[in-house]
Structure 1
Amino acid sequence: MTDEATAVRAMWESWGLPGIVDVHTHFMPRRVMDKVWQYFDAAGPLVGRSWPITYRSDEADRLATLRSFGVRAFTSLVYAHKPDMAAWLNQWSAQFAAATPDCLATATFYPEPGAAEYVAAAINGGARVFKAHVQVGAYDPTDPLLDDVWGVLADARVPVVIHCGSGPQPGEHTGPGPIRAVLAAHPGLRLVIAHLGMPEYVEFLDVCDAHPEVRLDTTMAFTPFVEEQMPFPAAERGRLLDLGDRILFGSDFPNIPYGYPEAMRVIAELPGVDDAWLRGVFHDNAAHLFGLDAGHS
């Protein structure tokens, strides 16, 4: 076992957990992942800074790494940035999940004719979580072509991990405004706001407060890499504790510029957290959301 795996396991074992549920990991068709890595390597406009990929390896090795960490369930977040892409990605993701039992079957969508139909088909085929990327997709979440999509997802109570904050670089439609409008129309929608909504942390905490089915994932938050440019306001940390049952751990594995233990450690060392809060964030909240066996009392 690697030193990293030992460090990760020591943390969750100390909290009395059976492992970790990571709601924000990426597995994609190889040519898509290669293009994503090339974009990060080039520090493209949506990245805006040097961003080395720590876990750049083949798919089998990446799966082995997560399993060595004790990640008992994870996602294969894919996202479309143009028409006629989402349905194909959904087919790939369904095949990946069928071959990877510890992966929560993942799907995506794009504002285009027929989107509600292929979203419904993905749900009927077993999709348990969707990914939406407002920044990369460069679309308005309130686009009329998505209204039926949100309706289908709300009715099915299937969570959507959505990158809608304006970090690391703002997009035309990022920020809390469009999300508030979507939730006004579909108040039962189970959105998981990626990256705690950075850098609009306060606004997305407000959204979470106002909507009981909205959750936040911790992806990249509190790491030195993020804190130097988009620090989480210290005065708001108490709100994270108060919303403890709706905070979910996410890592952004493999596309992170630091080690997995660091992503966990910065959360574990937040002032005021206790083992019960950490058990919820790293396992139980997501286990409840996705109907997984909690594994302990």
Structure 2
Amino acid sequence: MSDHGVDEREAVRAFRERVGLPGLVDVHTHFMPDRVLKKVWAYFDSAGPLVGRAWPIRYRQEEDERVALLRGFGVRAFTSMLYPHKPGMAVWLNGWAADFAARTPDCLRTATLFPEPGVEAYVKDAVASGARVFKAHVQVGGYDPGDPLLDPAWGLLAEAGVPVVMHCGSGPVPGAFTGPGPVASLLARHPRLRLIVAHLGMPEYADFMALAERYGEVRLDTTMAFTDFIEFDAPFSRDRETLARLAALGDRVLLGTDFPNIPHPYRHQLEALESLGLGDDWLRAVCYGNGAALFGVGEGTGTVPGP
């Protein structure tokens, strides 16, 4: 577990100690059935059309080793982001995720959905049985988040207060329904939906920050934003006004990393956030406090303490 001779766990520990963090809450990590994850990795390896360029996967360990890595980094709670690309997959994926969370107490039980007949029923079942966060991927799924089939499910999730991490920005390549427009329409109908915009809405950062400024339940996750890999193609403006807006949203920005499907060490995401110069209070909120408050981490939820 080293990177050019530097032990990653110790590097992350040093970051946490430097900032004053009791641990990390990572709202965007991927755990999936093994055969699904291997297909995802093969897609990245082939630089598929939704990826757009070579994307080496850094952490290809077995499932239990990947869980141990996160715990070694001090991650107190994480997710099992998974998503269907066609009808008929979501219920099966939700069953797998429920089993994974049952055997992995620091994983926030994750579920997903797809615009298909019966979606309201299985979303209701997932919420009733303990799902704490949902994943929606409109780029991979190729669907409009405003699809009428999904409308009752969004209403149910808004009423229940269950957050939804949604990949809705047009990065790394645009999809038929990516971008701020479809999401703005969705929020106009469901303004209380606890939407977490994945990847900070990359590359439409400003537009998605504007939605967060307008809707009090909209949040942003940092997944891969500000990292060298993303800055090459989709740089985040470092002008004073943009950074001030991001700082002002500090209570609604959440750490996400895309672990294990990242081309860089885990610590690089943390160091990239630190490089923004927004201060330790902002970093403590983003890397731990906001996620801990949203999901009740450390309040008898069954999450395990970091090292």
Instruction: Say which of 288, 291, 305 aligns to 1:283.
Output: 288
- Residue in 2 that maps onto 1:170: 174
**1:255-274 equivalences in 2 (<5 Å):** 255-271=261-277, 273-274=278-279
Give the total of aligned pairs.
294
CA contact (8 A) 1:162 1:194 kept: yes
CA RMSD of aligned residues (A): 1.1
CA shift, 1:21, in A, is: 0.2
Equivalent residue number for residue 239 of structure 1: 245
Deviation at 1:53, TM superposition (A): 0.2
* 1:115-264 equivalent positions in 2, closer than 5 A: 115-235=119-239, 236-264=242-270
Contact 1:153/1:189 (8 A) holds in 2: yes
Deviation of the 1:194 alpha carbon:
0.3
Q: Is the 8 A contact 1:13 1:19 kept in 2?
A: no
Following TM superposition, by how much is the alpha carbon of 1:126 offset from its aligned partner in structure 2, in angstroms?
A: 0.6
Distance in 1 (alpha carbons) for counterparts of 2:220 and 2:107: 20
Distance in 2 between the 1:173 and 1:189 partners? 19
Identical aligned residues as a percent: 62
Distance 1:237 1:166 in 2: 21
Correspondent of 1:95 among 99, 108, 126: 99
| Separation of aligned partners in 2, 1:250 and 1:230 | 17
TM-score, reference length from structure 2: 0.94
What secondary structure, in the 3-state scheme, does the structure 2 residue paired with 1:78 have? coil
Once the two structures are superposed, residues 243-262 of structure 1 have per-residue CA deviations (whole angstroms, 9 ceiling, x without a partner) of 00000010000000010011
Aligned partner of 2:302 in structure 1 is: none
1:76 corresponds to: 80
Paired with 1:57 and 1:100, the residues of 2 have a C-alpha distance of 17
Moved more, 1-10 or 56-65: 1-10
Conserved? CA contact 1:134–1:173, under 8 Å: yes
SS of aligned partner of 2:217: coil
Aligned to 1:113: 117
Secondary structure at the aligned position of 2:261 is classed as coil
- Gaps of at least 5 residues in structure 1 are none
| Aligned equivalents of 1:185, 1:133: Cα separation in 2 | 19
Paired AA for residue 158 in structure 1: V
Deviation above 4 Å: which 4+ runs of structure 1? Answer: none
Deviation at 1:269, TM superposition (A): 1.5
Partner SS for 1:23: coil
Deviations 1:201-258, CA, capped at 9 Å, x for gaps: 0100100000000000000011111001100012212111010000001000000001
- Cα separation, 2, equivalents of 1:169 and 1:227: 14
- What displacement does 1:293 show? 2.7
Q: Deviations for 1:47-92, whole angstroms, at most 9, x for unmatched residues? A: 0100000001110110111111010100000101100000100000
SS of structure 2 residue aligned to 1:234: coil
Out of 41, 44, 48, the residue aligned to residue 45 of structure 2 is 41
Structure 1: distance between partners of 2:17 and 2:292: 17
Q: Structure 2: which amino acid aligns with 1:237?
A: L
Q: What stretches of structure 2 of length at least 5 have no aligned partner?
A: 300-304
Query: How far is 1:15 from its partner?
Result: 2.1
Contact kept? 1:132, 1:162, Cα under 8 Å: yes
Q: In 2, distance between residues paired with 1:197 and 1:89?
A: 25
